[in-house]
Amino acid sequence: MPPAPTLSRDPEYPVYVQGERVTLFCSAPEGWDAIGYIFYQRQKSWRPWQLPDSRMGPYQKIIVSENTAGEYSCEYSVLLSGIEMVSNKSNPTSVTMTGHLRRPQVSVFPKRDVYSSGESIYLTCSAPESRSVSEIRFFNDMRLLQILRPSSHPAPFTIAHSLRLLPQDGGKYSCLYCIVESGREMTSPESNFISLLVMASCYHHPRDDNRHLASCSKARINGLHIQPFTVKGTLQHPNQHQLKSHY
């Protein structure tokens, strides 16, 4: 009987998330010219069964789900003196599925429509996760802002990042989290986005006619740089929306 093949998987992870794609590869020993391959799957204590499309070649592609998770093995066949013979079964390899990582939520405190330069805020990332969170990442306009590694792992997990605002800190903020399971680090989907509008400090100039002139230095609104502007009585947004002056 031909010797057993070797069965491997790519990518090779200890656990997989539902929906990930895995390729199984059945490799016959050197010197044996295989003419066909058979793949088997076994779940729990059930007996292995032959996969219906397993004779297509040495590769078997699967999408991880409850139905495809389990233990796999394979065989190959050769022609010896015109007779087809099947090898011993390969070593088993397991495709283990873990729970899907859910999307976290990012929030800000205090919550305002407009923030002033120099104001302090807290960005909070909440992970709806019962497993241990190893890392939280905050982003500003898709750029990495801060990585926090918690010393404890309560569930569900929430962590806050403090930030003293500057005009250039305006933009869209988000977060994600990481967990480590069976030695594999996995990353969650990115959270919702929150937009911060940060205005530089304004000041008044008294005039002889008792009117006031409001002047603001450069600000950043949702990632757009706004050049300095000066108007009487109100602060004028470039899109013609008026913001009442509180100064």
| Domain presence at residue 59 | yes
Question: CA geometry: angle at 65 spanning 98 and 97, to 5°?
Answer: 20
User: Which residue range(s) make up the domain with 43?
Assistant: 6-98
In the prediction, which pLDDT does 227 show? Answer: 37
* Between 56 and 94, residue with greater pLDDT: 94
Question: CA geometry: angle at 180 spanning 179 and 186, to 5°?
Answer: 60
In the prediction, which pLDDT does 152 show? Answer: 67
| Domain presence at residue 183 | no
In the prediction, which pLDDT does 82 show? Answer: 87
The rounded distance, in Å, linking the Cα atoms of 33 and 44 is: 33
| Domain presence at residue 232 | no
* Between 55 and 186, residue with greater pLDDT: 186
| Domain presence at residue 155 | no
Mean pLDDT, residues 214-232 taken together: 39
pLDDT > 70 in the chain, percent: 77
In the prediction, which pLDDT does 120 show? Answer: 94
* Between 129 and 225, residue with greater pLDDT: 129
- 207: pLDDT strictly greater than 70: no
In the prediction, which pLDDT does 219 show? Answer: 44
Tell me if 136 sits within 8 A of 148, measured CB to CB: yes
- 209: pLDDT strictly greater than 50: no
Residue found by looking up tokens 């004779």 in the block: 55
DSSP-derived letter for residue 152 is S
Residue 92 sits in a domain of what CATH number? 2.60.40.10
Mean pLDDT, residues 168-183 taken together: 93
Mean pLDDT, residues 217-242 taken together: 38
Q: Which two tokens stand for residue 247?
A: 């100064």
* Between 201 and 88, residue with greater pLDDT: 88
| Domain presence at residue 191 | no
| Domain presence at residue 50 | yes
pLDDT in tens, 137-151: 999 999 999 999 887
Question: CA geometry: angle at 95 spanning 14 and 39, to 5°?
Answer: 140
Phi and psi of 169, rounded to 5°?
-85, -5
Strands 115-116 and 194-199: parallel
| Domain presence at residue 186 | no
In the prediction, which pLDDT does 210 show? Answer: 41
Tell me if 101 sits within 8 A of 188, measured CB to CB: yes
> Whole-structure pTM over 0.75, yes or no?
no
The rounded distance, in Å, linking the Cα atoms of 158 and 136 is: 9
The rounded distance, in Å, linking the Cα atoms of 200 and 227 is: 11
The rounded distance, in Å, linking the Cα atoms of 139 and 189 is: 13
| Domain presence at residue 10 | yes
The rounded distance, in Å, linking the Cα atoms of 23 and 38 is: 14
Question: Into how many domains does the chain fold?
Answer: 1
